[in-house]
Amino acid sequence: GLPFPKDTPTVEPKISPDMDAKVGEYVDYCIGLAEGADMVAVEHRTNLDPAGIPGGFGTADFVVVKGCEVHIADLKYGQGVRVHAPENPQLELYGLGTYFDYDWVGGLETVVVHVVQPRLGHFDRWDFPVVQVPERVAAVQAQAAATAAPDAPRVPGEKQCQWCLAKADCPALAAQVLSEVTAMFSSLEEELEKPSDPAPVDKLTDEQIGKAYAKLGLVKAWSSAVSSKAFDLATQKKLPGYKIVAGQSRRAWDDADALEADLKGAGYTLEDYAETTVLSPAALEKRLGKKHELIAAHVVK
């Protein structure tokens, strides 16, 4: 790459040792992928027009063109949801768009998408042949056209609603949540003999508990969206009956090293302002190794 101008300020990234190590795993993966590459691109903005989404674009973390293959390696740093590569819609779009970006190279036969999720130790890949590109583009075009229709169907679900920015205003999600919740309790109305009976959950059968549990994620997503929307309205003083008040504050040091230097300068010793404890199993494993016999002998789950 080009060198930075001399007057460019140096910024020290504030990342934890764990983040440094985990992102390092992704970097090592990409370096291995790039061995023998004909072309490499980082943070590649791919045009999704040819892939069937007019005006659409995506940013692929890492792209490699190597022989007859084009590779896209996507870093997933989260650990809440395991992300799989095969038939992944996001990565399919990146793959299609990147293929069209580099089809001028000629001879490309396979699109390979990689998911690297280092905090879960999860590495996955999906290969699809270039001969499938036309039918995949046709499917994307149909889906894109359906979303633009005035009466486009809304299909709520835990997976698709989790990161949706419109869930607080989605009538389909609200209707489904209301339907699921009321259905959960309506069957109990005849069983409840008086208001002082135990909570409805205590009246549910094992089968009903199973069905209700399967819907909790969707209900939580909707509840979270309602809470966020209510906070925004209250901030603007538009939520009847509610207002923003000061909550619990959490205090922290602005610069622990500077504080320690000041305390030492004032004559305080380490025993006056610090405590020493044994590291957590995870932290100690990073220092001594995951299979250290002393750690294994004292860890309980």
Express each pLDDT in 203-231 by its tens digit. 778 887 887 787 777 778 778 888 888 88
- Averaged pLDDT of the chain: 84
Six token digits for residue 190: 């005849």
pTM of the predicted model as reported, rounded to 2 decimal places: 0.56
The answer to whether residues 162 and 121 touch, using CB atoms and an 8 Å cutoff, is no
The answer to whether residues 112 and 91 touch, using CB atoms and an 8 Å cutoff, is no
Q: What is the pLDDT of residue 2?
A: 43
Q: What is the dihedral of CA 254, 255, 260, 265, to 10 degrees?
A: -90
Express each pLDDT in 106-142 by its tens digit. 899 999 999 999 999 999 999 999 999 999 999 999 9
Name every residue whose Cβ is closer than 8 Å to that of residue 109 and which is 6 or more positions away in sequence. 68, 69, 129, 130
